[in-house]
């Protein structure tokens, strides 16, 4: 089997499985197996796959055709400048969350050694990115899931940022670390229970329910952050696609000032921020 034949076989199986982008996913999987980037595949069309590669390719394609998220199948996922390990212990970090990190970095510009708190860190994507891209930032990253924190710990160990990110296992409903923080960021679970069944199988059946189901975490973070932010410091929240104005109203009601909504790259109102009075 050549790379070209493998791509065709994979594309067919993924299409039969109902994967929305079978060609692109086939390229990711075949590229991963033969150790080439997607852009390099056209010139490697005639390269034969070894027996082991073929077996691995079929195993990964079968998993993806079963609608396991591509990130879990590949075992790693790009987020800003990082290649993060991802698996069923935490949410696959999303492109819209990269916009959340951009906004945090803009707000931290000019603050030389900010103390940052990431609530619901999952894979560690936000916390590790902020430490990676702001040379003076010290980040505390909290999650109630021991599994997610174990994955974040592996991602942190693979970075050179060990000394600047602290991982804490705690439920945000109990208490947030004391601070004071120069910025609190969170991408909380925000899918309402009534929408869970309508989600793509990749999310509904594979990602941790505790990472996606809205159980009031947005409101809880907005309340609790008031007790740990420095006066004038921002809270930055990712929101559901149709919830930004509701979350903005909540922040204003709680007394946050300068409440602002920022759109993601898809033009959707996604990030809501406000400053502790």
Could you tell me which of 104, 78, 80, 82 has the C-alpha nearest to residue 92?
78
Selected binder of ligand SAM within 70, 126, 161, 228 (CB under 6 A) = 126
122 binds ligand SAM (CB under 6 A): yes
Considering the complex, state which of residue 65 and residue 84 has its C-beta at the smaller distance from ligand SAM. Answer: 84
Selected binder of ligand SAM within 7, 91, 117, 247 (CB under 6 A) = 91
210 binds ligand SAM (CB under 6 A): yes
From the list 57-65, 194-202, 210-218, 266-274, the region that binds ligand SAM by CB under 6 A is 210-218
Smallest distance, ligand SAM to C-beta of residue 5, A: 36
From the list 5-13, 53-61, 136-144, 154-162, the region that binds ligand SAM by CB under 6 A is 136-144
Is 212 exposed, middle or buried (CB count within 10 Å of its CB: 0-12, 13-18, 19+)? middle
171 binds ligand SAM (CB under 6 A): yes
CA distance 211 to 129: 19
Selected binder of ligand SAM within 71, 93, 234, 274 (CB under 6 A) = 93
CA distance 264 to 175: 30
Considering the complex, state which of residue 140 and residue 217 has its C-beta at the smaller distance from ligand SAM. Answer: 217
CA distance 148 to 88: 9
From the list 68-76, 105-113, 182-190, 255-263, the region that binds ligand SAM by CB under 6 A is 182-190
97 binds ligand SAM (CB under 6 A): yes
140 binds ligand SAM (CB under 6 A): no
From the list 66-74, 154-162, 209-217, 241-249, the region that binds ligand SAM by CB under 6 A is 209-217
Selected binder of ligand SAM within 22, 69, 114, 120 (CB under 6 A) = 120
218 binds ligand SAM (CB under 6 A): no
Long-range contacts of 202-205 (CB under 8 A, 24+ apart): 202/67, 202/68, 202/69, 202/70, 203/69, 205/67
259 binds ligand SAM (CB under 6 A): no
189 binds ligand SAM (CB under 6 A): yes
Task: Confirm if 182 and 111 have CB atoms less than 8 A apart.
Answer: yes
Q: How many residues sit close enough to ligand SAM to count as binding (CB under 6 A)? A: 24
Selected binder of ligand SAM within 173, 196, 200, 254 (CB under 6 A) = 173
Residue numbers of the site for ligand SAM (CB under 6 A)?
Answer: 90-91, 93, 97, 120-123, 125-126, 142-145, 148, 171-173, 187-189, 210-211, 217
């Amino acid at each position: 089997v050549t790379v070209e034949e493998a791509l065709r076989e994979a594309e067919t199986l993924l299409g039969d499985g109902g994967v929305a982008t079978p060609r692109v996913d086939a390229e990711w999987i075949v590229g991963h197996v033969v150790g080439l980037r997607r852009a390099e595949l056209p010139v490697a069309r005639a390269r034969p796959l070894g027996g082991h590669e073929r077996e691995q390719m079929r195993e990964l394609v079968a998993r993806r055709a079963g609608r396991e998220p591509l990130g879990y199948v590949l075992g790693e996922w790009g987020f800003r400048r990082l290649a993060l390990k991802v698996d069923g212990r935490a949410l696959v970090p999303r492109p819209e969350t990269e916009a959340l990190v951009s906004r945090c970095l803009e707000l931290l510009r000019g603050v030389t050694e900010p103390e940052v708190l990431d609530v619901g860190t999952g894979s560690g994507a936000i916390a590790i990115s902020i430490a990676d891209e702001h040379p003076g930032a010290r980040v505390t990253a909290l999650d109630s899931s021991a599994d997610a924190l174990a994955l974040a710990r592996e991602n942190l160990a693979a970075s050179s940022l060990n000394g600047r990110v602290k991982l804490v296992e705690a439920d945000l409903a109990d208490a947030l670390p004391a601070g004071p923080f120069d910025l609190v960021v969170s991408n909380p679970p925000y899918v309402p229970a009534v929408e869970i069944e309508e989600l793509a199988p990749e999310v509904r059946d594979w990602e941790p329910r505790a990472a996606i189901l809205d159980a009031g975490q947005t409101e809880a973070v907005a309340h609790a952050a008031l007790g740990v932010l420095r006066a004038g410091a921002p809270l930055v929240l990712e929101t559901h696609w149709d919830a930004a104005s509701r979350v903005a109203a909540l922040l204003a009601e709680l007394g946050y000032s300068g409440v602002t909504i920022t759109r993601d790259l898809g033009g959707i109102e996604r990030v809501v921020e406000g400053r502790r009075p």
